[in-house]
Structure formats: structure tokens, C-alpha cells
Structure 1
């Protein structure tokens, strides 16, 4: 049986479930992505997530606590410093950051930009500020196309983002520029360099799914690497391979948004005999959280809920599926940035019933559980596998 076990992790990117005790230090007091979205749209119908126990995690209009849930439910606190994608995903897989990655709230200094421009030959930069990616391409896209200068911007997260029109700067050139930035930014402890290609005409620019993330190397060995060392297949879907710089990933599957990610997950459950299937569903964050689009966020939750039965039907005895998140991004607040929140932990294990998993002290409990299922070592976190009857 153990040779055919599979563990599926679905990361609903940014779907936090209530402010952490230290949220005020991050400017996020009172944030509650899932709860506030449900109320902003007058209630949500999420019967399948509700059956797994979602209604027990935070008050959600339309999703009451199920008195006899079919899944195991809890929430996880972030022990690392920070509230970004890298920090959240790394902690899930056993890397806890005691020092937050660097932020640049006033843009990037000449010590960063000048060497980068010298190496790439890019004709200068536009922007170099904290900005919304969708807003800055509308504002500077036409000048970018006229001059060829890349749009560089950051956010409240540790990111160096480079936006270029696909007809002005070829994708291969954009990726090369971002790789050059990655090499130079390691010593500055910047979490991610993100290529942000876009298309369209002035006043109607849109970003594409040709985005690529170039992550800083993890400061330690992740659960993914320990699985791969033992010969356990690790399939990264969406931006998972980029987040971990490909380390510990035995198969990478690119996706074009949530719907495609869910289709790929269903497909892979039909072919993967054994191993970890680690999926990021980016649209929650990229399309809706950062754009303060509560209605769009609600629609994405309904889309996930409707896809869930098809995924659960493909699970076998011995398999485990977990739905979680990496941080919050409450679209009902004035901020368009990530929020420091608990994240859901909804777990389905065929034939094992359901019940509470409590409040976990670290996201690393998830990785510790994955490691135990496959007989690998996890140096951080407490496995909850025994609570699943396994």
C-alpha cells in the first residue's frame, strides 16, 4: 500500500482565514480574506469545502460549521517573519525564516540597478517604485513600447518585478534579464525576481500567463529534496517549481491559471502512481486579491469547490489531499498587498472520517506530515498523520 500512496497539496494562493496575533505589526490587523470575501458578496455556496470543515475556521456567510465534517480541519500559523509567497511555501516544506527577506519600499537603489543595466544592456528603467502591476503597465506601457526600457517595480513583498510587452521585448530576453537580476540580488536577500510579460495596446494592456518566478535559493534542505533523495516523485504544478528553484521537483507542469491548474491536477491523479502532487492556484492572489476584487475572489472559490468532487473521486485508500494557502490577501481592505493571516488546513483521507486538527504552530506541520507518509525526515514541524488514522 505504501508504495502507491499519494499526497496532494492544493494551495489556494492567498486564501487566509483570519489575522495572526502579530498582524498589526504588518499593518494587517483585522484581515480575514475568506470571511470578508463571503460577506462582501452576500454569502458563498461552498458545499464541498464546507463538508471538509471550512466553516469551522472563520465565520463565513453561507458556509456554516458542519456538525459532522467528512474531512479533518484546522488552521496553521506562520512562524517565519514575512507574509509573501516564498516565505509561506518554504515554511510548508520545512524552512522557517527567522529574518524577513528584504523589502524596498522606496524602489531599488543605484547599487542594484546600475550593475544590472550594465550586465543586460537594457536601455534604462521605468518606474522603480512600489506599484500595482496592473496599474503600472497601463501608466507606463506606452512609454515602455516607445523606448524599450523595462518597467521595474516592487510591492510590500520581497520582489523585483520586470514588466515588458511581448512584442517589444521577446520573452527570451525578458527571462535573461530576470536571470541576471536573480544572480545580482541574492546578496541583497530579495525573495523573487518576477518576469511580468504583457500584451495589448495603450489603455488596454493585459498580463499573460508567461510569467516566470526566479527564487532565491532556500537556506536549507526542504522536504521536497528529502523526498526526491528517497526516489519519491515530486510533481510541482503552477509556480511551485519556480518557488523552489526546481530543487526537489522531479516533474514540472506549467499552468495558465486556476482552471488549468485544476484540470492538470485531475489529469495527474489519473497517471501518478506514487508521490507528492504540489499545486499552486495563483489566480486567487494575482487576479483578485491584489486587485481588491472580492467578487472575482468569490468566483474562484466556487470554481475550486466545484472541481473538488472530481479530485476526491480519484483518490485511493492511503492517499491524502490537503487544501491550504500561503498567506492572506484580503480584497476588502484598502491595501492591495498580502496580509498576515492564518491559513486553512482542510484534509481528506479516504475512509478515515474527519475531525479537528487544531491550530498548528507552523506551516511546517504540513511538510512534516508529507515526510512521514513517505518515510522521509522532517527536521521542523509536527506531523498530524496519526490524527488521520495513518
Structure 2
């Protein structure tokens, strides 16, 4: 039997508010059973109860904490921190801080979510300036965790190593089938001398201390390795990761538009599409954004999951699934232990460069 867990939800966040959040709870329960999972919904009680009635959800499943205060989607993070206390977003995060809830999910303002989460929950590693956002990337082999995809524009070598630790623990908790996740650093080539100083130094730390950290590090990977699923975790800075993510999303939409145009171009094409419908549906499910919605903010002393603001009920339900699996896992304990090992590794002096003795002519 799964351990009981309470998930805190910002019911007013996102483009659709309670209509999607409450329907997302129903979707999660329909697809995953919901055994031992209850929900703490923060927001306007009248609006939430109306959606609960529509979705046939009762008070034994959903607890409501009323507040009429909401952080707007376009509100600046600094404003949200000053004026956000008592809002649905603030209260949802605070429930995790107080130990009442095991995780929080919000489709609201990303900057505000990150700022308030950092303020209330604090960072789990001293070197991290802000949480790293991890994306679950569909690949030929399953799902690869890619981080950071937007939170930290620049990252030094130690931060990249911390991303590797957090990404490995996340993949093991949510996507792994029992094996140890493999890790690679995104670079312009696979050779050790490629890339800028920070990625080369992170590569050195992981190569020399990977086993001491308990990580299965495979070296540098290139952009095309992400979709191949060459490794389970791809580490990069937020600038590069966000560009890669947005490029992949654009390419996926471009291919979908081309396929739709080709399959509706004539009677014969439509007949062929009908025959291929089962395969096309499987392909659609593979690349459906709703199926991979939910980007945890890693590096906090608590589980925080960001849903896309425009997510539908299925997408929000998937974000809940990730929150439940992370909240029930030993993710936070594992990351804390790995950070302690990283401190020990970083205190060791670098291995001396190999010296090549000159041969004496005979």
C-alpha cells in the first residue's frame, strides 16, 4: 500500500484557475487511482466548490483553504514577494514549509513561484542561486531529464555538478525502472577538450569523483543525443537548455503541421491516414505536451512542481503525478547525501596532470 500524502495546489494559478486544477485532480485519480493521496486546494472557495461539484469530488478528497488573494500571471517576482503573502500561491508553498503537505503544484507565475519558493523553503545547496527547472524529454528510449531549462542563465562548474546530482535523483524517483540513471553534460562535441572552461571543469569533477558521488557519468553528449536517449540525464546551463527546449518544441509543431497537411491533401492521403490511425495515435501520445507536463524546481528544501500555465486537465494531472512520486520518494534525502559527498570531493586537490618523460637518445 502506498504511503499517504497530501498535495498542496495553487487552485487559482494558470490561465484557467480552478476549472483545470480541480479537473486535473479528477484526471489524476482516474488514471492513477489516487490511493492515499489527498489534496489541499488554496483559493476562492466558491469557485473551487463549483468545480468540485462538476467533477464529483468530495471533501474527503479535497480540503479547501479559502483566500481571495491571487498572484497575477504578469506580476513581477519582487512584487509577488512583497505583496503575495496570503495569496493562493504563497499559502500553497507555505503548506510544504510547515510540513503539512508533501509537495506543491502550481500553474501560476513562474518567476513568482520560484522567488516565493526560494524565500520560504530555502535552497538545499549553498552554491545554488536559484532552483533548476528540469524537463522530462521524450526520447527513442523513454524519457530523459534535461536541466537546467531556464532558471539559471549562467552556471559554473560546481553548479553543473549539482544539477547532475539533482537530475539523477529526479530521474531515479520518477522515470527510472530500477537501474542507476546515466548522466552526460551537453557540449559542442564529445571530446574532453571541447567546450568552455566551466563544462570542461564540471567534466573533470564528475570523471574524477563520479564514483565517489555515486553517479554513473558518461562524459559529454551533443544536441542530437537528447532525442536519442543516449543518457538518462542531460546537464546544461539554463540559457542553453531553454533554447534547446524551445527549438525542440518548435520542430515538433512543424513536423505535426507537415504531417497534418500531407495526410489531408487528398482522398488517397486521407484513406492512408485512416489505415495508419492507430500508429498515428501512438505517435501523438508520445509527443503530447500534456503527457510530460510538470517541471519540478530542483534544489529547494521541498518538492515544488511547475505546470504549464495553459495546461489542460490531463496536463495538470500529470504534474500532480510527478509531485506525488517525488513526494513519496527519498529524493530529498538522496540529494542531501550526495551534496555532502560533493563537498568532500571538492575539498580534495585536483589530480596532477600526467607528465611525459623525455626519452634519452641512445
Pairwise same-fold verdict (TM > 0.5):
no
Q: Which TM-score band applies after superposition, normalised by the shorter structure?
A: under 0.3
Larger radius of gyration: 2
TM-score after normalising by structure 2: 0.26
- Greater RCO, 1 or 2 (C-alpha within 8 Å, sep 6+): 1
Q: TM-score, normalised by structure 1?
A: 0.24
